A and B are shown apart, each in its own frame.
Chain A
């Protein structure tokens, strides 16, 4: 055990001797873990990452996904990632910034992906999430819908779903909802 009473005098002495300096640890454990995640990212060929805040602001970044096959081939979809300071205890908040006609992504950009919510574990990482997102485009899942209409069309009329997706990606209207061009 330490002698707390003596601590302050020693600290003062240290400061007066010029050895004292600010504490070293301004990076949170979450930032350090994310730093590791980012350096070991192994993105699919068709995904790119960017850091709108510059090289020192890693906690907010964007991932662009360009699926090369499936319903969404040729499209370009932007996702924003907001990483909390207690990452990986809590998962990042991910939003789809591109309006998309998709059974698992709603028109506000909320994404239904298990690893983003109920199945998140601290051993998972950013790579896991990106692969999960990519998977949503190659295999949209009508069983866990966020956009119920799109899910019903995919389940019951896959051909119509295909053409609806095309229409939306080329900036058309589906069910009176207009989409921005993203091809």
Chain B
């Protein structure tokens, strides 16, 4: 009985994985090995166990993936229950990742889901390198930007500026807002990364403070007044915590008073939460559609059983159903995913000499250079207070300043071009030290 169930479960998938075809990806190799690898070997990380995450975990489990992990920092709230279908009333207050993992494992035989109830920043970078693919079901630009920088951080280029295949960490990103959504594939070094196209995200609506203080016209104005102005007036120095129900209740009651004063209708507790936490309306069907697209792309990307989305799908369900695929292009000079300019140096070169070299480098022609390495400012041309603090580094060998790493990324800013056409810019550099044997620097692998 169990055998026939498991057979029927993979029957449809088998049609895709066991037979060759004309529409398959270039690396597709049909056969049982592929199917078994998918089950036994491929590890998928799902980020977020909310509206998209619940759908993603279910879809991926039903698509033949066996080794999943999920990370989410939130606990289940009553308001989640209308669409985050893995959760029940008795789960309210429990970590989303744990409940979601448990529910899908109960439902789908043989799938193993490891939950992580924490922030994405809490995990060491090495955690993320363990997965073949990362699927994002997030609702914030910050979190996407962070995961993107982690995934792109694994990327390495060869001396011809081609990405090294084995260092590409693909991401599939889904996002929804009401009736609209997007699904995209990010192959760092191949397709545009999140930062290449960050302009796709509209800026958050922000009301002028003086409007809030003087001429409120909407319920949202009254709520933002209580949240941004009145809170500070009354609780001097105490930071507002949007996750503290008492804080939220206080803002709500102040907003009600404000609205009464100006005769503005419509302030409710849930609107208060929505405005303060910038909650966007979520619709179950939109989440289901976008998640399904993401899960499908994950399967195609990993197995090669079909060509994949190239590279950005938008979905609009406002009037019927409209979808469109756009092929965005990479920003070749992207500071996050771009190759950067390769610079080979002797280990003895000082920071000062290095800065001088960039001035004559044909691809750079950079003057007034400031140098930063892994969050450490090695030299700052300006302002004077920072110049003074970093000046002593100029006479030290760059190799030492880079913790004796045989090769690594350095970022510089400066003025490019000549004469009157100088333009300030930031550049990524791939610095390689000649004659430094990587093997002797084993100890630097984790520490640098």
Residues of A within 8 A of B (CB): 1-8, 10-11, 14-15, 17-33, 35-36, 38-41, 43, 48-51, 54-56, 58, 84-86, 89-90, 104, 106-112, 114, 117-118, 120-122, 144-146, 148
Q: Once the chains bind, are A7 and B213 in contact (CB under 8 Å)?
A: no
Determine chain B's interface SS by DSSP, over half rule. Answer: mixed
B170: interface (CB < 8 Å): yes
CB distance from A129 to the nearest CB of B (A): 14
CB distance from A178 to the nearest CB of B (A): 14
16 contacts between A and B (CB under 8 A): A1-B25, A2-B27, A2-B187, A4-B42, A18-B442, A20-B445, A31-B375, A32-B372, A36-B424, A38-B382, A39-B382, A39-B424, A40-B424, A120-B203, A144-B208, A144-B214
A38-B411 in contact given A1-B27, A112-B210 (Cβ < 8 Å): no
Binary contact readout B1-36 vs A (1 if CB under 8 angstroms, 0 otherwise): 000000000000000000000000111000000000
A55-B389 in contact given A29-B195, A41-B382 (Cβ < 8 Å): yes
Q: Once the chains bind, are A24 and B426 in contact (CB under 8 Å)?
A: no
Contact of A4 among B129, B133, B142, B446 (CB under 8 A): B133
Q: Once the chains bind, are A4 and B132 in contact (CB under 8 Å)?
A: yes
Binds A, one of B84-92, B150-158, B248-256: B150-158
Residue with the highest number of chain A CB atoms closer than 10 Å, among B37, B336, B375, B448: B375
How many angstroms between the C-alpha atoms of A34 and B167 in the bound complex?
A: 28
Q: Once the chains bind, are B125 and A23 in contact (CB under 8 Å)?
A: yes
Question: How many inter-chain contacts with C-beta < 8 Å in the A-B complex?
Answer: 201
Q: Once the chains bind, are A8 and B132 in contact (CB under 8 Å)?
A: yes
Q: Once the chains bind, are B236 and A1 in contact (CB under 8 Å)?
A: no
Q: Once the chains bind, are A36 and B165 in contact (CB under 8 Å)?
A: no
Contact of A32 among B154, B304, B380, B411 (CB under 8 A): B411
Contact of B232 among A24, A26, A108, A122 (CB under 8 A): A108
| CB-based nearest A residue for B232 | A108
Residues of the A chain whose Cβ atoms lie less than 8 Å from the Cβ of B301? 1, 4
Determine chain A's interface SS by DSSP, over half rule. Answer: loop
Q: Once the chains bind, are B153 and A6 in contact (CB under 8 Å)?
A: no
B358: interface (CB < 8 Å): no
Q: Once the chains bind, are A27 and B166 in contact (CB under 8 Å)?
A: no
CB distance from A104 to the nearest CB of B (A): 7
Residue with the highest number of chain B CB atoms closer than 10 Å, among A11, A24, A85: A24
